[in-house]
Amino acid sequence: DHGGINDHGDHTLVRDCIFRDNFSGDHGAGLYIHHHSQTHAIGCLFERNVAVVKGGGAYSQSLHGAVIEQCYFRENVADLGAGMYNAELSATHIADCTFFGNFAHVGGGGVYTDVTTVTIAGCIFAENSAGIDQEGGGAGSGGSGGGGVWNTGGSAIVRDCIFTGNVASFGGGVYNIEDAATLVQDCFFIRNQAREAGGLYSLSSPAVVRRCVFQENTAENGVFAVGGGVSNYFSDSILTDCDFRGNRATLGGGGLYNEGAFPSVSRCTFRGNSSVGIENGTQGWGGAILNGYHTTVSISDCEMVGNAARSGGAIFNLIFSTVAISNCTMFANTSILEEFTYGGGGVYSYQGSNIALRNCIAWNNVPDQVGGIAIDAAHSSIQGGYAGQGNQSVAPQFVQLPAPGKDLLWNTPDDDAGDLRLMPGSPCIDAGANLAIGLTSFDVAGEPRFHDDPGTADTGVGASPMVDIGAHEFQGSSCLADFNGDGLANSQDFFDFLAAFFAVLPAADFNSDAFINSQDFFDFLAAFFSGC
């Protein structure tokens, strides 16, 4: 009862075929691939096929590397894996395929993987849906969803894919459950929707999410609408080098929600995400990030700009959360002051949370930088000042301040992204603590940490070179005589300047007056003989 083709072959080639309007009372209405098959399907169309249980378009049990390539899956239907279902221990490779408008009653609108090593690469998942009629499962119970992809266990790889316009009960784009060690890399999640986790949902699954973009995804209309971009429940997930923009969640965590376990977030940017709650309600916590119950999370080297929530414009920390925030920059985030709000434009921490803030910048957040219970803040630049060792309240001196433009709204075309790198002479240079929890070897832009500026006195803690405060490590030199920028002011700088001067190179315009002349030579000598 397997619909179009029931493949028991060895090296079957299925090329440029159309599987349309087939039906299976069980699995694989269009194409069914058995355990020993090494099928290669290329350039095929799977359209309007219906399987009562699994795999509307295709079903694969292949243990030998079946390949599905350049195929189009459209408007297929099944309980699980409407487009394609990959059975336990299968190792199918799915590449350069499009999954459009497929419908799963329970999970995996586009693809379902069940304890597999399946690779999904270069695929487009658009307007698929899963679990939208299923009830329950909120607040970390799960059980349905994965508009684009559902992963149960295994170690599936999802890379270079686009997820857009997918809708699900949980995990509009991708859903991970039951210890799924999924790698999601170099993917785009755009305008997906779910009751929880508009973009990506992980439940008890140590997913690795790397270099992904989450833009304008939403979590709404659920009893626990959290994680506009991503939700991590009881998952030691690792998120690195990701970009969260304009995501929205009703209850909290416009960009990201964490609950339980030990997730980590590093080198990510959060801009224009929001959690504004419901009318006359108390929801709306953490415009960028909401850290929930019993989570122990490390957030490092992140940049948070223009996020908004009723409470905790950038970050909200709930009771029983333990959060280490290091080398982050929080700028122009907003807590919307009205009834049932708490403040904390930058960070808000609820009673019973345990929060450490190290080497961070909190500036221009509204109405305040840090709200809620007192937190353990040290070696940070906090506007208005905050008690703690090494904290400072003088302006950090950014290259260019971000601005929302004339419409005063973030994540709109007239935004000025600004440049939150530090200017030469910034008090944040070489002023951090080298042993901060979660501190990594690179900053948010991928530049190396622990770059010493010979023109700035070390005011931080630890052996030189000392880390800077904020998401960006200053890479230049405040020492004018350090002409070659190697961190030292010595005779080599003198010879390098002379070479540039006599070659009339732009770098020889030492005083930046648009002319290269004797005045540049004298100005360099003055800086050199003064020591900097």
Q: Are residues 171 and 246 in the same domain?
A: yes
Q: Are residues 410 and 519 in the same domain?
A: no
Please state, for a pLDDT cut of 90, what percent of the chain lies above it.
Answer: 73
Q: Which of 156, 132, 158 is nearest to 144 (CA)?
A: 132
**pLDDT averaged over the chain?**
92
Per-residue pLDDT tens over the stretch 74-107: 999 999 999 999 999 999 999 999 999 999 999 9
- The structural domain count of the chain equals 2
Q: Are residues 495 and 398 in the same domain?
A: no
Per-residue pLDDT tens over the stretch 11-24: 899 999 999 999 99
Q: The tokens of 226 are what? A: 């959290």
The average pLDDT across 311-333 equals 96
> Which pLDDT value is given to residue 431?
94
- Using the predicted structure, report yes or no on whether residue 282 has a pLDDT greater than 70: no
Q: Is residue 475 part of a domain?
A: no
DSSP state of 448: B
Q: Is residue 466 part of a domain?
A: no
Q: Are residues 152 and 46 in the same domain?
A: yes
Contact between 259 and 232 (Cβ < 8 Å): yes
Q: Which domain holds residue 98?
A: 5-421
> Which pLDDT value is given to residue 81?
97
Contact between 130 and 169 (Cβ < 8 Å): yes
Per-residue pLDDT tens over the stretch 27-54: 999 999 998 888 999 999 999 999 999 9
Q: The tokens of 365 are what? A: 């957040």
Q: Are residues 245 and 330 in the same domain?
A: yes
Q: Is residue 307 part of a domain?
A: yes
Last residue of a domain, one of 421, 445, 472: 421
Could you check whether the bond before residue 427 is cis, i.e. omega within 30 degrees of 0? no
Contact between 106 and 133 (Cβ < 8 Å): no
Q: Are residues 498 and 351 in the same domain?
A: no
- Using the predicted structure, report yes or no on whether residue 499 has a pLDDT greater than 80: yes
Q: Are residues 367 and 492 in the same domain?
A: no
Q: Is residue 174 part of a domain?
A: yes
Q: Is residue 470 part of a domain?
A: no
| Contacting residues for 494 by C-beta, under 8 A, at least 6 apart | 483, 528
Reduce the DSSP state of residue 138 to 3 states and report it: coil
Q: Are residues 149 and 60 in the same domain?
A: yes
